[in-house]
Structures are given as structure tokens and as C-alpha cells.
Chains A and B, each alone.
Chain A
Amino acid sequence: MTTDVDLPTAVSQQFPSAAPRPSLDCAAFNVPAGDVLAVLQYLRDTQAYDFLMDLTAIDWSAEQSPRFTVVWHLYSSTKHTYVRLAANCASDAEPAMPTTSGLWAGADWHERETYDMFGIKFTGHPDLRRILMWDAYPYFPLRKEFPLAGLPTEMSDADINAEIGVGVIPAPMAGGPFVATPGEPMSDAEPRAKDEAWNEKSEKPE
């Protein structure tokens, strides 16, 4: 991957508020939430980063402030380079970010997914609804406090809920999630070395 060597100086001249962000691959910047639209428009129109590769977010957990960071990945189809942009949400309880769906139509669904998973509201979005979970789903599943197994709730259809009498229940983890923790010797780190004597029927011993 080629790198865009002139980009960091060009961006920092144009936007003094944009700080370089540690990155192992492409150029990356931290931008205040208020400047995001201007920087993205500058990158698209002046620097030829015409393609929005990805739009996602990071939850740094409830103990951290700022808690939520929105991340944009752009690609230039003429320079064949990438650039990454990150902006912290000002509020931890009601995270919000201006929408970029006016710059790239493709941002529409990315922002809906980010809203669905993290609960970040994109102000000015034309149709900010959930996209993966159903509309009445009460949680934001990719937030740090949300367990992988899920939390009990109702399914989307009231008739069906009344008929079958079961809703969403936490998935049985039975010793999972089955990932090896880094740093340990493999014999201790791998899932089978951990206690899996408990499951959804017998409680985990304290």
C-alpha cells in the first residue's frame, strides 16, 4: 500500500484542530466533532478521497470519558491510499455526531448500523432507524456493558410472543466465549483448560 506523504501537512495546515492519530498503516487524524464534516468534505473534494470505506465506532467502556469515538475510513480511487479519521462524541450518555450521509449516500446504512449497535445518534440523518435488530429492541449490543449472551426481552411480533410464550433469552455460554487469552502458555490459555463444568442448567460455582 502506498502512502500519501503530503496529506498530514496539508490537513494540519488546513485544519489546525486536526491532530495526528497513532497509526500502523495509513494516515490518521483525530478531529473535534464540530470539524468532522469540513475535514471529510476537504478530503473528498480536494484530496480525492472519494470513497467511504467504512464508518464505525469504538466504545471505550463506561469508565472512560470520552466514551464513544466514531471512526471513518476513506479510500482514494485515484491515489490508491487510505485515510482514517476519528472523532470523540461530546456526551457519554447521549452520544451524537453529525451525519455524513450528505457527503456519501453510502454513509446512510453505516450510520444506521452504528446507531443500532452503539446508540450513537447521527444528527441530520434522513432515516435513523435500527437496521440489524428490530425497531423495538431495547439494547445496544456492541456497548461494553452488554453481555455476548444477550439480555432477555420480547421478540418483535406481539401476536407471536403471546402464542409461543418465549421471548429472547440469553444464549447458553457453557464456559464460552471460546477464545484463548493472550500472554499465557497455550495449555492454560485455550478454552478447554478453563472450567466448563457449569452451563445454563447448573450455575457457575462461586
Chain B
Amino acid sequence: MVAWVDFFTHMVTASQEVTYNSKIEGDVTVTRLDSAINWLRTNSMWPMPMGLACCAIELMATASSRFDIARFGAEVMRFSPRQSDCMIVAGTVTYKMAPVVRRIYDQMAAPKWVIAMGACASSGGMYRSYATLQGVDRIVPVDVYISGCPPRPEALLDALMKLQTKVRREPALKKQFSAA
């Protein structure tokens, strides 16, 4: 069993006194509730793959064996919003699609997060036109933006790690019942 009492404080070298010692404490681990819940959330963040354009190809590459998003616990792409935690908006959001994206976001159970993957999802990208939503943050709250057209899989993994860092820092119960 791994000791992770000091997980929250990101201490690399912990003193023997505060770490878990199985000889003394047996099978009992003491931690903070926030830390425990966020540990679970960060390492099983199931994505809702909102693949709308070419960024979705890079999203699929990220799931493949070369980049292997499973290393970060996010390989379970769920096409049901009820079963997913993190919506990855990968591609151009048209105004025709925008209400659908919002409705799927609404159907996801809290707590939930959004990654805007690529230039189009972040800002409309090169599509300065009547048909394209100028950034998905106008309809859903975005946690992490990724630059690139399309971004490389490493960039998506980096965004996922940044989101995990963000989730570790937030009070675990704050997001439990909130809509956004």
C-alpha cells in the first residue's frame, strides 16, 4: 500500500514521521477528504469525446498505444454524457451544433470539466464566419484551452495533466452539486 498522506502538499521527500507506516498503523490510512476524493477524480477522468473536426483525429491518436492516454486514467471515452467527467471539445463548433454541445454538457453529471482542444474550439480559429461559434467558452465554462491547429497528442496530454493539477487544488465538495 502506498502512502499518500502528503499527496496534497506535493512533497517529494517526506519525513518518516508523517508518512504511512504499516508496522505502526496497520491497515488504516489517514488523509484529508478533499485529497482522497480529488485523487480518485484526477485518476479516473473519463472523457466525453466531442469530436467535431480534425482535432478529433489527434484525440484518437492520443488514445492510441503510442501516446496512450490510459497512463493518465482517461482512456475510457464515453459517448454517453451520463458516464463522463470531462468533455473534450475537439474541433469547430458551428452555430448549428452549439445547442447540442451545450445540451450534452448539461446532461453530464457534476462534477464536470471542459477542455477546449485546438484553435477552433478555443476561439473559432480561422473560421471568422457567420456559421461558426467564436469559441466554445461562450456556451460552456472551459477549464483548459489547448493551442494548435490541430494540437499534437502531447499537447492534449499536457492539458489533461494541467486539468488534473487544477482538480487536485479545488475543494472536492464544491463542485459536487453545482451546475457549472
User: Chain A interface (Cβ within 8 Å of chain B)?
Assistant: 132-134, 139, 141, 146-151, 155-157, 159-161, 163-164, 166, 168-174, 176-177
Contact = CB atoms under 8 A, between A and B. Distances in A.
Given A147-B130, A155-B95, 17 more contacts: A132-B96, A139-B130, A141-B131, A149-B128, A149-B129, A157-B99, A157-B102, A160-B98, A160-B103, A161-B99, A163-B102, A171-B127, A171-B129, A172-B128, A172-B134, A174-B128, A177-B128
A168 B128 CA distance: 13
Contact of A176 (B96, B100, B128): B128
Contacts of B127: 171
User: Which applies to chain B's interface (DSSP): helix, strand, loop or mixed?
Assistant: loop
Contacts of A172: 128, 134
A168 B95 contact: yes
A33 B178 CA distance: 60
A133 B131 contact: yes
Given A141-B130, A166-B139, A171 B102 contact: no
Interface of B: 95-96, 98-100, 102-103, 106, 124, 127-132, 134, 138-139
A171 B135 CA distance: 10
A119 to B, nearest CB: 15
Contacts of A146: 130
Nearest to B133: A168
Q: Which of B127, B129, B130, B139 has the most C-beta atoms of chain A within 10 angstroms of its own C-beta?
A: B130
A171 B139 contact: no
A132 B106 CA distance: 25
A171 B124 contact: yes
Given A164-B139, A166-B139, A171-B134, A148 B128 contact: yes
Contacts of A132: 96, 131
Contacts of A170: 130
Contact of B128 (A141, A166, A173): A173
A163 B101 CA distance: 13
Nearest to B100: A157
A136 to B, nearest CB: 11
Contact of A150 (B98, B102, B130): B130
Contacts of A134: 95-96
Contacts of A171: 124, 127-130, 132, 134
